[in-house]
Structure 1
Amino acid sequence: MLVNLQLKLSIKRRIRALRLLQQKYGIDAATLIGTILRVWCNHSFSALPAPSMPYSPSIATEPKLLEFVILLNEIGFLNATYWLSSTYAILADDSYRKKMAMFFTPVSLTEGLLTDLADQGTDFGSQSFMDPACGGAAFLAPIALRMRAALLERGFTPREILGHIEEHLHGTDLDSTLCELSKHFLCMALYNEIQSTNFAPKFNVYQANSLSSLKSRLGKIDVVVCNPPFRKMTAEELSPLRSDYSEVIDAQPNLYCLFIALCTRLLREGGRAALVTPTSFLSGQYFSKLRKFLINNTTIEHIGMVSDRQGVFMDVEQETALTILRRRIEKNPAHSHANVSVVSATGKYSSVGDCVLPNHGLTWPIPRSIEDVTLVKKLSASKFRLADYGFKVRIGAYVWNRDKRPKFESLEEAKLANADSVAPLLWSRDISSRGVVKIEKNPTWNVEHRFVDIGLKNSSSVIKSPCVLLQRVTSNDQPRRLVAAIVSQDIFDTYGGFVGENHVVILEQVVEQPEFTPTNLVELLSTYTVDRYFRCISGATNVSVFELNQLALPDPAILREALLNGKDWDEAVVLAYQLI
């Protein structure tokens, strides 16, 4: 885990105790955190001015609060800032935390990404830095420490160090409490210089909506570092931003998509951005315009794929990418090259190799391991897709929490209700790897509804052709990303077809006699090589139509010949991809 599990559990217990204090005294999260910060500073940073945050003397001597402060002193300064910021997010109102998407970057990832920046040529002693979603100074504080170290090597005095950092380090955030926390964390990071000079710096950290208020800074920053908030945007908040971000907006975008565009635009030519984001921008359909934007405006120097999706962010599982971009003015290259690494739980980078990122909006095939490099290069050259095998991809049409049509637990119940356009419902849980989906009278799991009255005899929602079903939601933690099964012929013979639930992907046979049957397709999709390649083109938990239509498949003629020669499916696929 990125944070020692025992320590993490200990801190979570203390946070629960703080929540009880919060409820006991009826105070908000900002006041509780402000009180913790002042007690911490009184104990360990006594020469600093008092934090400009709400403070409650009545809880400052509570034993549970003092225990938390003692723990902050024991775990190291940067880890302590991370946990105090995270505590504020946890103790804030749930709806507010969700709206603000307050999830902070652990120290191991922060340090790894800043070291990556240094390896790419960033000079912490001369360049300007900005974080437009600075949160609890997860980047600002360690950058300040690196700036101080670089300036000390160059002989700067303590007063000169403070002046330089005042001028060259900037941050904005939508939450005023986090801005105040960030400013005070910077003072704590530079405590020795402040104590020796008796000078109180005024750091450039302020509350702002970065997406709309930083136009005067565009094209002027040397280095932008950011862990942008990630969640779907509402139509209301997107409306005033649409014209400024039209280059990257597609459908209902994620907030972090616009932040990536902002970070790029803030950079001067040759400037670098270091980003901590979900991996979905590497492959998602609605990030196609963003991928084109990045290829046209940046050189993507490095992508680090975090190997552990658990424990990166508090209380959320998220596959994470660490990306270094360099601003470039010339446009329209055919493709870009990026070095790829796998990043361990401790923030250690292990280089995987170079990969090609095409400039056409489709997915970026990113190796997840050294073994994937050759596989990605070979398979990306294949021209064969599911359509060449005679199958079309679609998603189940039934959305259980929205569909108002009558549902039934059994066919008998439907008949009693005089429903005359009844079709069976197939769910994601019906699908097991290499299995056969059937309508069972006594299923092993509780089926809420098994039949639906579709209303129209010839509804396009009803699948009447032989097909393969895939689970729509899987993750890289599972043995297979492509969990596939065929639909029993009994379903077509008995009911004439079926309706898929929204979490079912349907590969529908669209030619009368395909060279490879649905059973064959299940075997193909279940091979190690195909599953491995899909992991390299999928950056999200959804198995999407967009990605499946880009899934490179082997030459059908070579595959058939290999199978006829007695090779098993895994061997035949390797031969057909010409991996040997």
Structure 2
Amino acid sequence: MRICLGLLQGSPSAGLLAEVTARLSKLGVDQKHYWVGTFYTLLLPPAVRRAQAAYFTPPNLSKALIRLVGSEGYDPRHHTAIDPAAGGAAFLSTLAGEMRELGVPAKDILRRLHGIEIDRGLAHLSEALVADRIDSAVTRGSVVEVRDALKARHAKTYDLVIANPPYGRISADALHDKAWRDVCHPGHINKYALFAERCFRLAKPGGLVTLVLPSSFMAGPLYGKLRAHMREKGELLTLGSVTTRNDVFVDVTQDVSIIVARVGNPHRADRAVSFGNVTGFGPFKPTFATTLPAKSDDAWMSAGKQPGVAIGGATLADYGARLRVGYFVWNRELERMSKRRSAKLDMPLLWARNIRAGQFCYPKAKTGKGIDFVRFEEESSAIVRTNAVVMQRTTNSAQSRRLIAARVSPSVLKKWGGFVTENHTLVLTARNVAALNTISFLLNSAAVDARYRQLSGTASISANLLRNLDLPTPQALTRAVAKLGLCEEAVEHAYASSLPLQAVLTA
């Protein structure tokens, strides 16, 4: 805290801090505040940082969201605002600056802005940033209170509730009420869903809620309750994707989206929602408007909703594919692993790192030398004894594609009679090699990858989402490949020319 307050005031004058101070002095107040707050989080122990999900909203994105709510009627000259995840003051500092530029007195600014922050140091720093923004002293705790927002109770409501809440799972035992049941499924309680529920409670009737959330909330099956709850509590005005995540957030691996809603009346079935994109460098740009699905918990961002994005109407099952999660959890059963095959039921292990898109996959040890084998005492369904496609189940932000699939080399079956895969993989089998080749081609295409990204913003590949992922019909793909060859264009052409499967069957 002392270091960061010194950076804010420009006082450190020795060593590396002097260089940091010199660089900060060349930045505008928005960027300076962002990097002082981010510097604080980088000094936290990694475990603490992950537990608190201390990743802050950069100023250009904050400004874009505040401009967006301004277009929906939020007036900084008169209205109140709260950020229930106020560490770093990304929104509070920006709002204070907007108010100051509009001539609002400092006393009035401090009266109408409020924040909640669980980390005492971050709460203090956030108030220091607000004070610096409006050039006025802030009494400790008068703007940002140190509390757990999920346990705090507030009778007061606000014209604007704006937040980039923390992500991460939490146990039901750690919660004081049962409100989580309105927005989460048992066994999958995420902090950001709980914050979203709290934000809708903190807004006045007619007030606005705007949130920065993982993109999975818009389509993931585990967030159906959250979507239904939002529609029940307010009108959805805007849904958008943050399209330059790597340039926007420091150290965040999830795709991120935004939502703006007006609290009060339930969302009308005939009300069009504005969809669009926002980058870290400019305002929100609407791309199209459409109504939401009739069923309240259905995905909001699905293929076919966007102009030019065609619906194929088929799934993996229509290609004869069967999907399962990789079997072997290596760090729990190290005693079953060996570097040599000493019995017929010792099977080579395929790691996720062995999988390269479009290439044959071969077993290779985790260390890179030799092959790892897994020992079985008896025949097991975990042993794959047929040709298969394997996929990485967890990807990272450095990879250009979310879906990474590869055929297992036939030589693996010929030499060892089967194989097993680790739990960070998915395994697809089908009726013949031709079907597997088609499945691998599809899953490695940009068109299919883009449609999967619409359904999930997380790094983990969901087997359920993959089973239900929209694909072109096999008939349409066959025609497209015959016409254009095995290329990206053929997949998009197949989507565009797909007929509903019922029509195909009738014909």
Task: Name the CA shift for 1:502/1:337 in 2 (closer, same or farther; >3 Å).
Answer: farther
- Return the offset for 1:207: 0.7
Check if 1:210 corresponds to 2:153. Answer: no
Q: Kindly name which structure, 1 or 2, has the bigger radius of gyration based on alpha carbons.
A: 1
Q: Please, which of 300, 308, 320 is the counterpart of residue 390 of structure 1?
A: 320
Matched residue, 2:222: 286
After superposition, give the CA deviation of every residue in 1:234-277 in whole Å (9 maximum; x if it has no partner): x3x75324612111222233322211221122112222122223
Would you say the 8 A contact 1:295–1:336 is kept in 2?
no
Match of 2:94 in 1: 142
Aligned pair in 2 of structure 1 residues 360, 556: CA closer, same or farther (>3 Å)?
farther
The residue that corresponds to 2:51 in the other structure is: 99
Change (3 A) 1:73 1:463: same
CA 1:164/1:553 → structure 2, altered by over 3 Å: closer, same or farther?
same
The letter of the residue matching 1:577 is: Y
Q: Does 1:32 align with 2:8?
A: no
Q: Name which of structure 1's ranges 358-367 and 320-329 shifts more when overlaid on structure 2.
A: 358-367
Q: In the TM superposition, what whole-angstrom CA distance separates every residue of 1:166-195 from its partner, at most 9, and x where no partner exists?
A: 33211110112222222232222222xx59
The CA distance in 1 between the partners of 2:45 and 2:109, in whole Å, is 34
**1:436 corresponds to which residue?**
360
Matched ranges for 1:431-510 at <5 A: 431-439=355-363, 446=368, 450-457=372-379, 459-474=380-395, 478-509=399-430
Q: In the aligned structure 1, how far is the partner of 2:147 from the partner of 2:369?
A: 49
Return the offset for 1:129.
Answer: 0.3
* Structure 1 residues 428 and 363: CA distance shift in structure 2, 3 A: farther
Q: 1:316 to 1:572 in 2, by over 3 A?
A: closer
Aligned-residue offset at 1:232: 2.9
What is the CA deviation profile of residues 140-166 of structure 1, one whole-angstrom value per residue up to 9, with x for unaligned ones? 11111222334x3xxx6xxxx234323
Change (3 A) 1:446 1:189: same
Q: How does 1:247-286 map to 2 (within 5 A)?
A: 247-250=182-185, 251-286=187-222
**Unaligned runs of at least 5 residues, structure 1:** 1-29, 44-59
User: In the alignment, is the contact (CA less than 8 A) between 2:235 and 2:266 conserved in 1?
Assistant: no
Local SS of the residue matching 1:518: helix
Once the 2 structures are TM-superposed, how far is the Cα of residue 493 of structure 1 from its aligned partner?
4.3
Give the distance between the partners of 1:449 and 1:565, measured in 2 at CA.
42
How many Å separate the matches in 1 of 2:210 and 2:399? Answer: 29
Instruction: Tell whether 2:403 aligns with 1:403.
Output: no
Within 2, Cα distance between the matches of 1:202 and 1:96?
22
Question: CA, structure 1 residues 188+430, in 2 after alignment: closer, same or farther (shift >3 Å)?
Answer: closer
- Could you say if the C-alpha distance between residues 81 and 573 of structure 1 is closer, same or farther in structure 2, counting changes exceeding 3 Å? closer
Is the partner of 1:481 in helix, strand or coil?
coil
TM-score, normalised on structure 2?
0.86
Aligned to 1:18: none
Give the stretch that moved more between structures: 71-80 or 565-574: 565-574
Structure 2 letter corresponding to 1:393: L
Deviation digits for residues 499-523 of structure 1, max 9, x if unmatched?
11122111222xx569x62112222
Superposed, 1:158-307 pairs within 5 Å as 161-191=105-135, 194=136, 203-217=142-156, 220-233=157-170, 235=171, 238-241=173-176, 243-250=178-185, 251-307=187-243
Summarize the Cα distance change of 1:34–1:484 in structure 2 as closer, same or farther, 3 Å threshold. closer
Q: Which amino acid aligns with 1:435?
A: Q
- What is the CA–CA distance in structure 2 between the aligned matches of 1:526 and 1:65, rounded to whole Å? 47
- Describe the SS at the equivalent of 2:155: helix
- State the match for 1:549 in structure 2: 467
Partner SS state of residue 425, structure 1: strand
Whole-Å separation in 1 of the counterparts to 2:376 and 2:297 = 37
> 1:231 is aligned with what amino acid?
G
Deviates more, 1:82-91 or 1:288-297: 288-297
Give, in whole Å, the separation in 2 of the partners of 1:391 and 1:336: 38
Instruction: For 1:243, give the aligned amino acid.
Output: K
Give a deviation string over 1:50-92, Cα, whole Å, max 9, x none: xxxxxxxxxx665655554454433122222222222222223
1:329–1:238 CA distance, 2 compared to 1 (3 A): farther
Gaps of 5+ in 2: 499-507
| Distance of 2:486 and 2:314 partners within structure 1 | 20
Structure 1 position 288, deviation (Å) = 3.0
Instruction: Provide, for residues 370-413 of structure 1, a one-character-per-residue CA deviation record: whole Å limited to 9, x for no partner.
Output: x993343x21xx432111222122210112222345112232xx
Aligned with 1:342: secondary structure?
strand
Matches of 1:166 and 1:64 in 2, distance apart? 34
User: Are the aligned partners of 1:284 and 1:546 in contact in 2 as well (CA < 8 Å)?
Assistant: no
| Contact residue 405 and residue 452 of structure 1 kept, 8 A | no
Write the deviation string for residues 297-330 of structure 1: whole angstroms up to 9, x where unpaired.
Answer: 3333223322222243334444322322222433
Number of residue pairs aligned between Structure 1 and Structure 2: 496
- Hey, what's the Cα distance between the residues in 1 that align with 2:140 and 2:251? 35
